[in-house]
Amino acid sequence: MAPPPRRAGNPPDSGGGCGSGLFCRRLKARLPTAEVTGPDRDAGHLACARAGTREQGLACRFARGKAERLPYENAAFDLCLHIR
């Protein structure tokens, strides 16, 4: 299956990182007992994600890594969410 076409002005997919951690925080707020982990390959994105999570008093984990090679064992997660 081919990926959907990019809309004009949107950058290509950056690798599936958590970015600012927005969706990690939203997920944790909705499911407070869930263990939420957000990977990203960019240290700046991870710093932003951690800061935003602290500000909201939430407990999410963030780790550095590429989407193609995450630092976790197979089947370590029950759910993987990727939003484009």
Reported pTM? 0.74
What pLDDT does 27 receive?
A: 95
Residue 10 is predicted with a pLDDT of: 47
Range of the domain at 58: 22-64
Using the CB atoms, write b or e for 16-33: b if 16+ within 10 Å.
Answer: bbbbbbebbbebbeeeee
Q: What is the mean pLDDT of the chain?
A: 84
- How many structural domains compose the chain? 1
The string of pLDDT tens digits covering residues 6-16 is 555 545 555 67
Q: Which residue has the tokens 């710093």?
A: 47
- 24 compared with 3, residue with greater pLDDT: 24
Taking 50 as the threshold, does the pLDDT of residue 18 lie above it? yes
Task: Name the packing angle between helices 22-30 and 43-55 (round to 10°).
Answer: 30
Mean pLDDT of 10-27: 79
* Burial degree of 64 (CB within 10 A; 0-12, 13-18, 19+): middle
The answer to the question of residue 41 being in a domain is: yes
Q: Give a yes or no: residue 69 inside a domain.
A: no
